[in-house]
Chains A and B, each alone.
Chain A
Amino acid sequence: MHSFGYRANALLTFAVTILAFICAIASFSDNFSNQTPSAQIQILNINWFQKQPHGNDEVSLTLNITADLQSLFTWNTKQVFAFVAAEYKTSQNSLNQVSLWDAIIGEKEHAKFWIQISNKYRFIDQGHNLRGKDFNLTLHWHVMPKTGKMFADKIVMSGYRLPDAYR
């Protein structure tokens, strides 16, 4: 502590160490937040259901997505990434997950939304197993923090079924 430079260095190093602790505490406080998200997805229409030239099935859907993800936002949240995936089982794979739609929610105000949209990403199967297939639509979300640990969770909605024949 005998010179200006020595003291400035010591102070800066200690300040950055304390900053790291502060950020760790902020991240840890996320564990205590009460999260009650809700969502509903409705399939309004099956636009078309074809077999591609390569032999894979493809479906185009119009979805109506309603969700309230406002309770996921804490003081330490930068953004929430949400996506809808169709999940089903085939003889080839025990779990198929096909992402149909996603969004980045930057503010808490935008986290309560209603959207009617055809699938943003194509729903193509590995094969031709989709006729008459029962599938779940799952809304996944990743809560991305300003500092620290990212949390991810989902809501599974089941009971959807594709038609038995191509249209």
Chain B
Amino acid sequence: MDWQGQKVVEQVMQILLVICGVVAVVVGYATESFRMMMMIYAGGVVLATLVTVPDWPFYNHHPLKWLDPSEADKHPKPQVAAVASKKKSLKK
């Protein structure tokens, strides 16, 4: 899942669960049935799980743009000797 997908997933999960909770309380109070409230909420949790937990394709529509490997050759890594002398000075 890409970064954009993760952000969307978090928001969808929170909003979906809160809405299910509110709907469950309202319906349960109106029908005077505690069982109804619990069933609706359980259904809502299952729905939220199905929508947000698996890695659906539409969460991968903004993939990260990794640089081409040929770019790495143009910018070589720094020299190892410079790093070793730095370590020695720190130890003193």
Contacts and interface: CB of A to CB of B under 8 A. Distances in A.
A160 B59 CA distance: 76
A2 B6 contact: yes
The main secondary structure of chain A at its interface with chain B is helix
Nearest to A29: B29
Contact of B6 (A1, A19, A75): A1
A111 B9 CA distance: 49
Contact of B17 (A1, A7, A18, A74): A18
Contacts of A115: none
B60 interface: no
Contact of A25 (B17, B25, B45): B25
A13 to B, nearest CB: 10
Interface of B: 1, 6-7, 9-10, 13-14, 17-18, 20-21, 24-25, 28-29, 32-34, 37, 41, 45, 48-49, 52-55
Nearest to B16: A11
29 contacts: A1-B6, A1-B9, A2-B6, A4-B53, A4-B54, A4-B55, A7-B9, A7-B53, A8-B49, A11-B13, A11-B17, A11-B45, A11-B53, A14-B13, A14-B14, A15-B45, A15-B48, A18-B17, A21-B21, A22-B21, A22-B24, A22-B37, A26-B25, A26-B29, A29-B29, A75-B29, A75-B32, A76-B34, A146-B34
